[in-house]
Amino acid sequence: MQLGQINKLAVSRITPPGAYLKDFRGDEVLLPRKYLIPENDFQVGALVDVFVFKDSQNRIVSTTESPHLLLGNIAFLKVVLVNMFGAFVDWGLDKNLFVPFKEQAEKMEEGRSYLITLRYDNQTDRLFGSSKITKTLEPCRESLEECQVSGLVWSTTELGVKIIVNQRYEGLIFKNDVNRKLECGDEIICYVRKVRTDGKLDLQFDALGLEKYDNAYSVLLERLTKKKEIFLHDKSSPEEINKALGMSKKLFKQTVGKLLKNQLITLTDKSIRLK
């Protein structure tokens, strides 16, 4: 069984403290009785998905609860305690996750949230948190151009906003392409414009190629079908357009032009109307 991951284990025996679960090698781990709900799901031989970690006494235990973070992944977590040993963050389990001082990219403060990755120490056989997330990122060697990807906002630089892509790669949305307010820890959907030779990604919010126009066309037409009139126009600000439709002003104008050409809409000084 693997610490820090969801393991599928078989119930081997039921005892007063709880159920003992066994992996294919015969190694056992305790699932405390408070998690045996409903009890009928935990008969001997039943397969159970559990998260495996170590408790405060350094004993391997399991839980049916899902933490906010799995081994090697990154999440935005809040510091609940700082002491002489390091920081402790809330990761969704009864026992908070320890982040040693040496694993802090900056000194952590109680009450603040940081991007944290879950790591494993072979020497101590323990899980720990780290805000030095570059250690878990790798160069992209996939053909991701024009693909939609999930992103986690990392930080802001002079060039733009750094994004963690698919929990694996480092990407950047250039400053000129940022059309909404972004804060560290925000989860976004974006598109890969380019995979650079160093394995980092150039990103943007709008879909690329024909898909971008088709998506925008469908979104605007659907909205007009429901409301009959949208109070946006050529002079509307990029922020107003993005808030209402989730697209850039440039894409909005191109889409309006296409709808107008297809004779589906009429324009006023303040709005767009469906014919």
- Residues 36-48: pLDDT tens digits? 988 888 999 999 9
Q: Is residue 196 part of a domain?
A: yes
Q: Are residues 196 and 217 in the same domain?
A: no
Query: Rounded to an integer, what distance in angstroms lies between the CA atom of residue 260 and that of residue 250?
Result: 15
Query: Rounded to an integer, what distance in angstroms lies between the CA atom of residue 115 and that of residue 76?
Result: 4
Final residue of a domain: which of 179, 204, 229?
Answer: 204
Q: Are residues 36 and 82 in the same domain?
A: no
Q: Is residue 85 part of a domain?
A: yes
Query: pLDDT per residue over 116-127, tens digit each?
Result: 999 999 988 999
Is the pLDDT confidence value at 209 over 80? Answer: no
Q: Which domain holds residue 180?
A: 148-204
Q: Are residues 243 and 257 in the same domain?
A: yes
Q: Is residue 16 part of a domain?
A: yes
Q: Are residues 27 and 50 in the same domain?
A: yes
Q: Is residue 54 part of a domain?
A: yes
Task: Lowest mean pLDDT of 78-82, 158-162, 237-241, name the range.
Answer: 237-241
Q: Is residue 234 part of a domain?
A: yes
Is the pLDDT confidence value at 150 over 70? Answer: yes
Q: Are residues 255 and 215 in the same domain?
A: yes
Final residue of a domain: which of 41, 63, 85?
Answer: 63
Q: Is residue 141 part of a domain?
A: no
Only one residue has tokens 């603040």, namely 112
Residue 148 pLDDT: 86
Q: Residue 100: is the preceding peptide bond cis (ω within 30°)?
A: no
Mean pLDDT confidence for 137-166:
92
Structure confidence at residue 57 as a pLDDT band (50, 70, 90): confident
Q: Is residue 100 part of a domain?
A: yes
Strands 113-121 and 74-82: antiparallel
36 within 8 A of 18, measured Cβ to Cβ: yes
Q: Is residue 142 part of a domain?
A: no
Final residue of a domain: which of 204, 225, 246?
Answer: 204
Residues contacting 232, CB < 8 A, separation 6+? 240, 241, 244, 245, 252, 271, 272
Residue 29 sits in a domain of what CATH number? 2.40.50.140
Give the residue among 23, 68, 26 at the shortest CA–CA distance from 49: 23
The number of helix segments (H) and strand segments (E) in the chain equals 3, 18
Beta bridge mates, 74: 117
Query: pLDDT per residue over 219-256, tens digit each?
Result: 888 888 988 899 998 888 888 887 788 777 878 888 88
Structural domains of the chain, count: 4
